[in-house]
Chain A
Amino acid sequence: MSVHVSPTSTYVKVFLTLILLTATTVWVAFYDFGILNNVIALGIAFAKATVVVLFFMHVKWSSPLIKLIAGAGVVWLVILILFTLGDYLTRTIHYTAPPI
């Protein structure tokens, strides 16, 4: 398996995309879209991370095994977050609730 060498133009395009997404996320943050603010901010963060992983980190051209390992890291983090959240979201008693 030979190494894939991306042209410089690809990297520059990726960079411009990332800057554009950053500008968007900052701009959106100042407007009130309710819960959508969180969705947009995290959605853009995931998009940026995906672009970095695929192009800067070459996962797009890597072996299935590398894709699997990269995916496993994310999936395991999701397990940790989801199951922990599952506890907090279904609790009937909140000991640290605000004193209101």
Chain B
Amino acid sequence: MSEATSTGYPEENYLTQGSTLKSWLLTTDHKRIGVLYLLTISVFFLLGGLFAAGIRLELATPQGDLVQPETYNRMFTMHGILMIFFFLIPSIPATLGNFLIPLQIGAKDVAFPRLNLASWYIFVIGGCFTLWALVSGGVDTGWTFYTPFSTLFSNSHVLPAALGVFITGFSSILTGLNFIVTIHRMRAPGLTWFKLPLFIWSHYATSLIQVLGTPVVAITIVLVAFERVFHLGIFDPSVGGDPVLFQHLFWFYSHPAVYIMILPGMGVISEVVATFSRKRIFGYKFMAFAVLAIAVLGFFVWGHHMFVSTQSVYAGTVFSVLTMLVAIPSAVKVFNWTATMYNGAVSWDTPMLYAIGFIGLFTIGGLTGVMLGTMGIDIHVHDTYFVVAHFHYVMVGGAIMAFLAGIHYWWPKIAGKTYPVFWSKLAALIVFIGFNLTFFPQFLLGYMGMPRRYHAYPEEFQVLNVLSSAGATVLGVGYLLPVIYLTYSFFFGARCAQNPWGAVGLEWETTSPPPTLNFDEIPTVTGEVYDYSPKKEAQVV
């Protein structure tokens, strides 16, 4: 990362427009709202991480000697709820997406700036309800709120937690709505659809899922709440209700929700790989259509969560086949990132390290997903640590690696500051090692038959569990490092150049950090996207 020459740094930028708390809490600037989200989700990530630490600590020994079984149930439930609804789903879209979408399309703001701020407040209110559930004793249903346990039997604080998830869902819907309108209506002159960066394409696909999927889980949670409070009995088998109907409605959203978490990550990786390979992304149009294909296909596969239920075996077969189809566009992404790097001028800056880590880990996560989509294997490893390892490879190895890649890539844009090269590369390495040490043993444990969500286990599983717990410690250090050096960088770091990576894209054509209205003059786009032609290269160097 090159440091600023005295001319590059803007004395007037979005960060200098008021430093009072009020100027932040009442802002409608998409960049400031992005920063607000970044701070909020970091808090939720820390909380969710503490519960993960508790889980791994308990599982270091086979006996349930640290906490009561009930407490353990509440720990993994709160870990799931916090990480999924309050960290992963908003992670990239609400922070980086908010910050970068208007910049990348040459707009002054998102289409509905006040709605954007309202979304953040809705998110915070939803978070408060979840925290209320947390401090009053937690929830023990698992993040999936399966009925009839959640409606008839659980003595934990299901209502505030469900309300929190319900409310935060609307934050997600409104953010998606805002992005779709922004991408349709706010593009700079000349910026046609096939000149859009893949980051924009992936957010467009994500937003579609948010708008069309989230309302279904919202109404389902309302029904759960009604059943718990008024005993309506809609999912209660003793009065003719079907708990599996709950699972249908729940997974109709919650499977596509997985793509809400991973698609924006794919967008980040596309930007990073192109920039640090100094090449136009290989198969650009395929990449654009692949994210749309994943978003749409994702709505046809939810039944693969229900192979071990009363779901009809015929429906299961159809869901199984459709699940495998998702592997096709996903493989297109992986092949094309690899092909972009091939013969490129690859440089090993921090964001690129995370991106390469992402590609490998996502491939493992994705391929084990195909295994689990196969009914026979799924029935064998259903509800074991194999499933846990699989989705952590996608969610943590995929989504969080991409989030960190994006934060490191656009940090100069967000903060206008440099961060230490050595420490950031070290952190990337630690995260990669820690992650694999934590979750690879879980594949083996699951395949050997260790079930998930238990606080104790037979002694022969201890070695792998200790490895996993040790890995979690390493991973924790890996996550803590960026928090420290990025916070330091924000306040005390050296100012950086406007475009430290020599990247192309509209977001790099304005100052770093950008002014409140993003551009002094709205640019007119004439060139191609990812235009890393040799001529351009010469200009950058």
- Asked whether A96 lies within 8 Å of B184 as measured between CB atoms, the reply is no
B481 interface hit (Cβ, 8 Å): no
- Asked whether B311 lies within 8 Å of A96 as measured between CB atoms, the reply is no
> Which residues on the A side are within 8 Å of B248 (C-beta)?
84, 87
Q: Is the interface of B mostly helix, strand, loop or mixed?
A: helix
> Which residues on the B side are within 8 Å of A92 (C-beta)?
312-313
Interface-facing stretch out of B40-48, B237-245, B430-438, B488-496: B237-245
Q: Which of B241, B300, B303 contacts A87 (CB 8 A)?
A: B303
CB distance from B442 to the nearest CB of A (A): 30
B315 interface hit (Cβ, 8 Å): yes
Instruction: Contacts A93-B310, A95-B242 given; indicate if A65 touches B184 (C-beta within 8 A).
Output: yes
For chain B residues 28-81, which have a beta carbon within 8 Å of chain A?
none
> Interface size of B by Cβ–Cβ distance < 8 Å?
25
> Which residues on the A side are within 8 Å of B302 (C-beta)?
83
- Asked whether B216 lies within 8 Å of A80 as measured between CB atoms, the reply is yes
Q: Mark interface residues in A80-100 (1 if CB within 8 Å of B CB, else 0).
A: 100110111111110110000
> Which residues on the B side are within 8 Å of A95 (C-beta)?
237, 242, 310
Q: Which of B241, B244, B299, B310 contacts A76 (CB 8 A)?
A: B299
- Asked whether B312 lies within 8 Å of A73 as measured between CB atoms, the reply is no
- Asked whether A96 lies within 8 Å of B237 as measured between CB atoms, the reply is yes
> Which residues on the A side are within 8 Å of B311 (C-beta)?
87, 91
CB distance from A10 to the nearest CB of B (A): 28
> Which residues on the B side are within 8 Å of A93 (C-beta)?
310
CA distance A83 to B313 in the complex (A): 13
Closest to A89 in B: B312
CA distance A80 to B253 in the complex (A): 10
> Which residues on the A side are within 8 Å of B184 (C-beta)?
65
Q: Mark interface residues in B281-318 (1 if CB within 8 Å of A CB, else 0).
A: 00000000000000000011011000000111111001
CA distance A72 to B241 in the complex (A): 30
A1 interface hit (Cβ, 8 Å): no
- Asked whether B310 lies within 8 Å of A83 as measured between CB atoms, the reply is no
The 8 closest A-B pairs by CB, nearest first: A87-B315, A90-B314, A90-B312, A91-B312, A76-B212, A84-B248, A87-B312, A96-B240
Given contacts A83-B315, A96-B240, 8 further A-B contacts (CB under 8 A): A72-B212, A73-B212, A84-B245, A86-B312, A86-B318, A90-B312, A93-B310, A96-B237
28 residue pairs A–B, Cβ–Cβ below 8 Å: A65-B184, A72-B208, A72-B212, A76-B299, A79-B300, A80-B216, A80-B249, A83-B300, A83-B315, A86-B312, A86-B314, A87-B248, A87-B303, A87-B312, A87-B315, A88-B312, A89-B312, A90-B312, A90-B314, A90-B315, A91-B311, A91-B312, A92-B312, A93-B310, A95-B237, A96-B237, A96-B240, A96-B241
